[in-house]
Amino acid sequence: MFSFFKRFKGSKESDNAPEESQTAPEALAPEPVAPPAPQPADPVSADTQPATAVSVNEPEPETSALETVEIVPPPMQDASAKRSWLTRLKTGLSKTSSSLTGIFVGTKIDEDLYEELETALLMSDAGVEATEFLLESLREKVRSERLTDPLQVKAALRTLLIDLLKPLEKSLMLGHAQPLVVMIAGVNGAGKTTSIGKLAKHLQSFDQSVLLAAGDTFRAAAREQLAIWGQRNNVTVVSQESGDPAAVIYDAVGAARARKIDVMMADTAGRLPTQLHLMEELRKVKRVIGKAQDGAPHEVLLVIDANTGQNGLAQVKAFDDALGLTGLIVTKLDGTAKGGILAAIARQRPIPVYFIGVGEKVEDLQPFSAEEFSDALLGG
């Protein structure tokens, strides 16, 4: 399996890493203990029923010994794994790249070339603003560098595209809080739960203990799907059949603190940005997480389906306005004709793209690289 995190400089205590066992962990709490002492004020509203999955009365872990894990561009994979990933990425983006790559074959550098390029970029859902920016920059580059060969123009476009996408190439930072609380949002069908499961497996590969919170209390299938990932990865899942999602996630944060878990990831119910009451509920979840642990959530990630194109950009803007996003996970790039959406995001709302997905397997979720993406998009 590939790897993309730099390991801790110091050694990890064995009880921080999940045990390698074929036996699935229980989705609920360990053996019950005495209830916690009464709090002066309940941060969760009185009408909510807290999840009973775990106990949270153990003392808060010390944070002074934490080490920040600096995640630089992912460590070099072995050659075969790297080739396999790049092949999947190019294959996945072939529908998008097919209209772009043919433009530079056997043609002249004239207005027809720019018009064809404009059409191809718009069809890939790069959006009007990003398309105009790229074309104007390309025209200037062709003039200033006196390019005469169509392949030179293609290389110039590649450079411009990389420069545009480079600000999105930022990695997830680990170790600056314990637990590191990650809140994950998105519309129904974007791939939130699957992405959480894949990330849990990857984090475990780098000595990170993980706890999951099934904050989608409305859809039984979401809880079941998360439980399956939990069993597969030997990770505890805090779940409740019904009730307030904020209460479930609040209890999960407390459990993670008591157990000295490294990363706690919270799933949330899918919702459209136009569903104002549900967006307000999401704001409430974020506020409650902050009451469970100062400074949390440390990461607020939005999962978007690449096939939604410009609608995906609208989701990014709406969720960012509501929650203050720290990163994106772009899924389902395999087989999409709308891979240009990342250019639109880079131009209009440049939120870091932590990961991109081109398939259902764990290894199909990889850190975003502007250069690799541009090469796949232009058939490089």
Each domain of the chain, given as residue ranges in start order, spans 79-168, 173-369
Please report the pLDDT score of residue 77 as a whole number. Answer: 59
* pLDDT value at residue 336: 86
Annotation: binding site: 186-193, 267-271, 331-334
Identify the DSSP state of 69. B
Note if the pTM is more than 0.85: no
* Tokens 């990425």 -> residue: 89
pLDDT band at 220 (very low <50, low <70, confident <90, very high): confident
Q: Which amino acid is at 37?
A: A
Asked whether residue 22 carries a pLDDT value surpassing 60, the answer given is no
Binding-site positions for GTP: 186-193, 267-271, 331-334
CATH architecture for segment(s) 79-168: Up-down Bundle (1.20)
- The architecture in CATH of the region 173-369 reads 3-Layer(aba) Sandwich (3.40)
The confidence score (pLDDT) of residue 59 equals 39
CA distance 145 to 147: 6
Residue 81 pLDDT class (50, 70, 90 cuts): confident
pLDDT at 31 over 60: no
- Residues near 373 by beta carbon (within 8 Å), at least 6 away in sequence: 89, 93, 165, 339, 342, 356
pLDDT value of position 380: 66
Average pLDDT over residues 271-284: 92
Q: Tell me the pLDDT of the chain averaged across its residues.
A: 82
Distance CA 335, CA 94 (A): 7
Taking 80 as the threshold, does the pLDDT of residue 43 lie above it? Answer: no
pLDDT for the residue 112: 94
Which range (182-186, 297-301, 318-322, 363-367) has the least confidence? 363-367
One-letter amino acid of 176: H
